[in-house]
Structure 1
Amino acid sequence: MTLPIRHRHGGMTERGFPWRDPMSADFEELFERMNEFLGAAAATPSMTRTMPWSPPADMHETDEAYVVECELPGIRREEIDVEVSESELSISGELKEREREGVLRRRGRPTGRFEYRVMLPTNVKADDVHASLSEGVLTVTIPKAQGTKSRHIEIEG
């Protein structure tokens, strides 16, 4: 079934539909709501962003620590806040939009507040966490509380 196209200059009865049934007003309202919804969905992320964005990050485990590598290009270390609680690592800050000359034609990089959170295992030394920023990658090293290296256990018999 094809539906009539909604034009801004008038309703269905003004576009050559000789009939007016009670459902046509409902269809017009539905068309307008769908247009608003699709318009909001097509808006650029910076136009609709009210919540912080989350930068790409990886977390891996070594024998001695958990390591989080978070991509934060263009952000200075003074603009980044790293916090460790009992069970969570939080990386947050703000990437300010830089001033440009001319008209911005396309936006692909996020700006504004960012936040990355990850749950930590219980066996970490929260007091010995180390963070470094190099070439736009923040590396946070969270040492393990005890050596958890695997070892072979002999079975007694």
Structure 2
Amino acid sequence: MAITRWDPFREVATLQNRMNSLFQDFSRTQGGDDDLPTTTGFVPPVDVYEDGQKIVLKLEVPGMKQEDLDVRIENNTLTVRGERKFEKEEKEENFHRIERRYGTFFRAFTLPTTVDTENVKASYDSGILKLELDKRAEAKPKQIKIGVNGATPETRTVEASKTAA
């Protein structure tokens, strides 16, 4: 029986090699020489925040036209699809670097049941797609008035106005 010395970093190096191979395969072209390595697609970054009245999503999709975006809600899932096309000019350009991503993207978000899917607002300005999803009335926060000494808030208000007169 041979004794093999255990190297804890061997698995890390193997994982790194596999990840490098995965990213290299992803960035290679799928077709002929006319395809660019950047046409494989991209994932636009998104900010999601919420207040008592609504949930807001802001997707960063600069350089896209409004008609190239598709926003849908189906079965409490919000989907945003789009395509950023690479505009190739007729004359030969001598590109030194292409870092912007082109191609199609797809983002899906599962919505909580508190969202009113019938009341969604979408706007697009300066490369930011903003989606405002209002909450249902029963999900919005309500302020509760507190009564003093067992009196209801309305009774307490009436008594205070009588003593002032």
**Normalising to structure 1: TM-score of the pair?**
0.64
- Pair 1:138-2:129 in alignment: yes
> Percent of aligned positions with the same letter in both sequences?
27
Q: 2:40 touches 2:103 (CA, 8 Å); kept in 1?
A: no
Task: Work out the CA distance in 2 between the residues paired with 1:153 and 1:87.
Answer: 34
Name the counterpart of 1:98: 87
Matches within 5 A, 1:37-76: 41-42=23-24, 45=27, 47=29, 52-76=41-65
Aligned residue pairs: how many? 123
Name the counterpart of 2:99: 108
Q: 2:39 touches 2:101 (CA, 8 Å); kept in 1?
A: no
Q: CA RMSD in A?
A: 3.2
Q: What do residues 60-92 of structure 1 show as CA deviations (whole Å, max 9, x unaligned)?
A: 002111100000101011010000123211110
Amino acid at match of 2:86: E
Task: Work out the CA distance in 2 between the residues paired with 1:136 and 1:110.
Answer: 14
Amino acid at match of 2:114: N
Shift of 1:53: 2.5
Name the counterpart of 2:76: 87
Specify every segment of 5 or more residues in structure 2 that has no aligned partner in the other structure, as ranges. Answer: 1-16, 30-36, 147-165
Q: What do residues 16-72 of structure 1 show as CA deviations (whole Å, max 9, x unaligned)?
A: xxxxxxxxxxxxxxxxxxx9x967644783736786422000110021111000001
Q: 2:39 touches 2:103 (CA, 8 Å); kept in 1?
A: no
Name the counterpart of 2:140: 148
